[in-house]
Amino acid sequence: MAIDTTETTSASPTPHSPLGTRLSTRDKLVLFVLCAAQFMVALDFSVLNVALPVLGRDLGMSQSALQWAVTAFALPSGGFLLLFGRIGDLYGRRRLFLTGLALFGTASLLATFAWDPASFLTGRALQGLGAAAIVPTGMSLLTTTFPEGPARDRALGISGTLLSLGFTVGMVAGGVLTDVLSWRSTMGLLSVFALIVLPLAPGLLPESRTPERPRLDVPGAITVTGALLALIYALSTAAERGFGGADVIATLAAGVLLLAAFVYVESRAHAPLVSLPMLRRRTVAWGNLGGLVTFSMMSTVVFVLTLYLQETLGLSAFETGLVFGVQGVMSAVAGVYAPKAIGRFGARRTLVGSLAGQGLFVAGLVLLNAHTWSVWLATAAISLASMCHLGAIISYGLTVTSGVPDEEQGLATGLVTSTQQVGITIGIPLLGVLATTSSDLLAGVHTVLALDAVIVLAAAVLVATGLGRDRSRPVEAEALGLR
C-alpha cells in the first residue's frame, strides 16, 4: 500500500531529489520546518531545568512540587505518542502536526504569563500534549517525504543532530536567559519558535495518511496510553522520592498490568494500534533496544555530571552549561559524519559501533576526581561519548524505520519516539538515584558511571547478536560518494 495520493497531490509538492543528488530548495525548506519543530520540543526538555529554583520562588511552589514542572510535560508527551502517531496515520499527519504546533505555541504563552502554580502546570501539560502530536507526525512526514536511501539518511542525520543539540542548547540557554531576563523568557523562547514554524508549515508540508480508514483501536489506545502514563509518572516520581512510596508501587503495578492487557488486546484486534508482527521484526525490536539504552544511559550521565561539576568541583550553573555547550558542538560535528558512516558501514553496524564507543568513553569518566583539572577530562569524555550517542540516535531510528511501508511509518516512528521519551525518563530514577542518595557524592558518581558503561557495552553486544549480519544497501555508499 502507498500514501494517500489524493491528499498528497493536493499539497502540490515538488518532486524530490533523486538518490545521490543534492536536496532541492523545497526539500531544504521542508526539512527546516520539520527539524525546527523537533528542535523546539527537544529544547523544552531541558531549557527549564536551571530555572526551576527561581521559578519556584516566583510562583510560590515548594521544593517538592518543582518536579511537577518537568513531570507535567513528560506525562502527556510520552503517554500519547503512540496514540497520536496512529491518529496521524489514519486521519492526516500534516493536520495533526499543525494542530500540535498551534497547541504547543499557545501553551508556551500560557506558561510564560502564568500567574500561579496551577496555570503554569496547565501550560506545561498542554505543551506536552502538543509535543506528543508534533514528534511522531513530524518524523512520519520526514520519512514519507524523503525516499528511503541517501536522501532519508541525510534528513534523519540532520534531525538527529538537532534533537541532541536541542537538549544541550536548552541547558545553556536556560541558564543565560534566567540570569539575564527571567525564567519566563525560557517559555517565551518556545512560543517564538512555534510562531516561526507554524506559518511556514501549511504551504510546504504535503498531507499523507493511509489510503484506508480502519476504525481506531480504542481498547488498544486506552491500555497503551494508560500504561505509558502510569509508568512515566512512577519513574518520574521515583527520581525524587525513591521507589518505596505507595503511589510509585501502585502506578508501576498498574503500568505493567495495562501493558499486559495491551498485548492481549492487540493480539485479537482486527485493526490493532500496534502490529505485533512489526514488534517481532528484528530491526524494530533490537533497534529500539539500542535506542532505549543510548537515551536512558546518556541522560543519566548528563544528570550525574551536572551534580559532579557543581557540587564536587564548585562550578556555577553557567560554567556547567559551557561544558555541555562543548558537548553540543561535538554532537553537531557527529551529525555531519554519522550519515556518511551509515552510508559506508550500514545502519546496524553503525548502531553497534556507536553504542560500544559511548560505553567506552563513559567508562573513562570513572577516572574523575575532586581536582579542578578533572573538568577537562569531563569535557573531553562527555563530548566524545555524545558523538557516539548521536551516531546511535541516527542509526537506531534508521534501523527501525527502514523497510517499513509508508502506511505504517507513523507507528514505526511512534515506537522510535516513545523509546526516546521512555529512555530519557527511566535513566535518572534507575541509576541517578544511586548518586543522590550516596553519603559520598563522588563515590556515588563513580558507581553510576561504571554501571552506565557496563549496561551500554552489554547492549552493544546484544544488539549485534540480535540484528545479525548487516545487509544494508551497498548502493548507499556509492550514491553518497564515499566509495
105-114, 216-225, 438-447, range with the lowest pLDDT: 216-225
**What CA–CA distance (Å, rounded) separates 396 from 289?**
9
> Which comes out higher in pLDDT, residue 273 or 448?
448
**pLDDT over 60 at 172, yes or no:** yes
Q: Quick one: pLDDT at residue 358?
A: 94
Please give the average per-residue pLDDT across 170-185, as a whole number.
76
Q: Quick one: which H or E segment has residue 366?
A: none
Hey, what's the cell of 302?
A: 548528563
Q: Which of 480, 453, 466, 458 is nearest to 346 (CA)?
A: 480
pLDDT digits (tens, 9 = 90+) for 390-446: 888 888 877 877 766 666 655 666 677 667 767 766 676 667 667 766 678 888 888
Please give the average per-residue pLDDT across 121-138, as a whole number.
86
User: Where are the alpha helices (H) located in 181-217, listed in sequence order?
Assistant: 184-204
What are the distances in angstroms from CA 280 to CA 181, 234, 261? 50, 27, 18
Query: 10: pLDDT confidence band, cut at 50, 70 and 90?
Result: very low
Query: 482: pLDDT confidence band, cut at 50, 70 and 90?
Result: very low
Query: 452: pLDDT confidence band, cut at 50, 70 and 90?
Result: very high
Ranked by mean pLDDT, the top range of 3-17, 159-173, 228-242, 319-333 is 319-333
Query: 110: pLDDT confidence band, cut at 50, 70 and 90?
Result: very high
Are the beta carbons of 438 and 94 closer than 8 angstroms?
no
- The structure's pTM equals 0.68
> Which comes out higher in pLDDT, residue 274 or 333?
333
Are the beta carbons of 97 and 141 closer than 8 angstroms?
yes
**pLDDT over 80 at 387, yes or no:** yes
Q: Quick one: pLDDT at residue 436?
A: 61
Is the four-CA dihedral 39, 354, 457, 473 of positive or negative sign? positive
Ranked by mean pLDDT, the top range of 14-18, 149-153, 243-247, 285-289 is 285-289
86-90, 138-142, 286-290, 418-422, range with the lowest pLDDT: 418-422
**What CA–CA distance (Å, rounded) separates 478 from 343?**
8
Q: Average pLDDT of the chain?
A: 76
Hey, what's the cell of 315?
A: 562550578
